[in-house]
Amino acid sequence: MKIKPYIPNDTSLAYSVGVTLDRFIKKKQDDFPFASGELSQLLRDIALAAKIVNRETNRAGLANIGGAFGHTNVQGEEQQKLDVIANIRFTRALTKGGEVCAIVSEEDDEVIDLQNSSGKYVVAIDPLDGSSNIDVNISIGTIFSIYRRVTPVGSPIQLEDIMQPGNQQVAAGYVLYGSSTMLVYTTGCGVNGFTYEQSLGEFFLSHPDMKAPLSGNIYSINEGVSNTFSQGLSDYITYCKSKNYSARYIGSLVADFHRNLLKGGIYIYPETKKNPKGKLRLLYEANALAFIAEQAGADATDGIQRILDIQPTSLHQRTPLYIGSKSMVDEALSFISKKSSVQENH
Ligand code: P6P
């Protein structure tokens, strides 16, 4: 019998479609000798829900699932229909996957206890951030953090399983439903981005080992409320203008964060009169993006301390957020701390 050697690089007839998310997760799992596969399964469950939410955001205008749901969430924000749908999709996928014991969601007032005490993991999620942009076809996103529960598997979940600082995350990521749909995540060994190929229903590795530029010339902030900025922050914005930086603010955190991660830049949501503790939520927005930022060589702070070191005290607590290229975050902090120290001395 003649055996013909396989020629792996024969792309003359059929180009390689690349590395699927599933294959990447499996390979990375093999890199951890003691990995048991539960986290891998959890990541697959999130990817499945992302594919479904992607389909629904793409057809929102056609399927009468755009617009307001008619309720307000615990944040006092008007829920969009897709907020509710996305929340159902991710909660259902994580429940059926069997790896999760509890979920903290922007869309639910209380912790969702999945009654699965054998689940090792806790997920904090913003199922659809920026959803007010859905009806005007601007990019929106999902943001998620994954923690290992700290109480014994098999026992009822406790608050300490939920209120963990961001430096305890085992994984974090976001899905960007934009001109293309991407899933970007980290498990603490760098950041990798996957682009969704609709025709095959698969995420393919498109941005391996993502690294943020150390600096940049893009600043993202809502200057419409600049009259309530601290003097230090106002001085920093003036500095950005003096350097001819570009102002880019989409009003969708995941979209602004993703662009700044690739091109270099800083996103700032400070304390404002309307949001005296900042607008963004620590558990399911700031922590996940801060983990990704630091894994990509960038920075994330609340203006005083590292986001990942903040000990949560309440489920939906908010935090000021300065996140992006390291040197730009340092620059911003230098203006803020200078002014605050001057004010303290008066
Ligand atoms: P503002 C969306 O509601 C969000 O949470 C982020 O995605 C976005 O960056 C920010 O709020 C926009 O808030 O107050 O500038 O409209």
Strands of the chain, DSSP E: 68-72, 78-80, 100-105, 112-113, 121-129, 140-148, 169-177, 181-186, 191-197, 202-207, 218-220, 246-247, 266-269, 280-281, 299-301, 318-319, 321-324
Domain membership flag for residue 158: yes
Ligand 1 site, residue 312, Cβ cutoff 6 A: no
Examine the domain organization and report whether 203 and 59 are in the same domain. Answer: yes
What's the CATH code of the domain at 253? 3.40.190.80
End position of a domain, from candidates 149, 175, 207: 207
Q: How much is the pLDDT for 6?
A: 76
Q: How much is the pLDDT for 181?
A: 97
Domain membership flag for residue 157: yes
**In the structure encoding, which two tokens stand for residue 40, read together?**
């891998």
C-alpha 103 chain-centroid distance = 15
Q: How much is the pLDDT for 345?
A: 58
Ligand 1 site, residue 318, Cβ cutoff 6 A: no
SS3 38: helix
- The rounded Å distance from CA 130 to ligand 1 centre is 6
Examine the domain organization and report whether 161 and 242 are in the same domain. Answer: no
Q: How much is the pLDDT for 108?
A: 94
Give just the sign of the alpha carbon dihedral 217, 221, 227, 231: negative
Q: How much is the pLDDT for 64?
A: 66
Query: How many contiguous H segments (helices) and E segments (strands) does the chain have?
Result: 8, 17
Ligand 1 site, residue 222, Cβ cutoff 6 A: yes
Residue numbers of the domain that contains 98: 21-207
Instruction: For strands 246-247 and 218-220, give the pairing.
Output: parallel
pLDDT in tens, the chain (346 residues): 999 887 776 667 777 778 999 999 988 887 766 677 889 999 999 999 999 999 998 887 666 666 677 777 777 777 778 888 999 999 999 999 999 999 999 999 999 999 999 999 999 999 999 988 888 889 999 999 999 999 999 999 999 999 999 999 999 999 999 999 999 999 999 999 999 999 999 999 999 999 999 999 999 999 999 999 999 999 999 999 999 999 999 999 999 999 999 999 999 999 999 999 999 999 999 999 999 999 999 999 999 999 999 999 999 999 999 999 999 999 999 999 876 655 555 5
Examine the domain organization and report whether 266 and 141 are in the same domain. Answer: no
Ligand 1 site, residue 251, Cβ cutoff 6 A: yes
Q: What residues form DSSP beta bridges with 176?
A: 141, 182
User: What is the H or E stretch that residue 287 is in?
Assistant: helix 287-295
Domain membership flag for residue 14: no
Q: How many domains does the chain have?
A: 2
End position of a domain, from candidates 160, 184, 207: 207
Residues 6 or more apart in contact with residue 137 via CB below 8 angstroms? none
Examine the domain organization and report whether 269 and 162 are in the same domain. Answer: no
Number of Cβ within a 10 Å radius of residue 56:
17
CA distance 319 to 268: 11
Examine the domain organization and report whether 194 and 251 are in the same domain. Answer: no
User: Which residues belong to the annotated binding site for substrate?
Assistant: 129-132, 222, 249, 279
Instruction: For strands 181-186 and 191-197, give the pairing.
Output: antiparallel
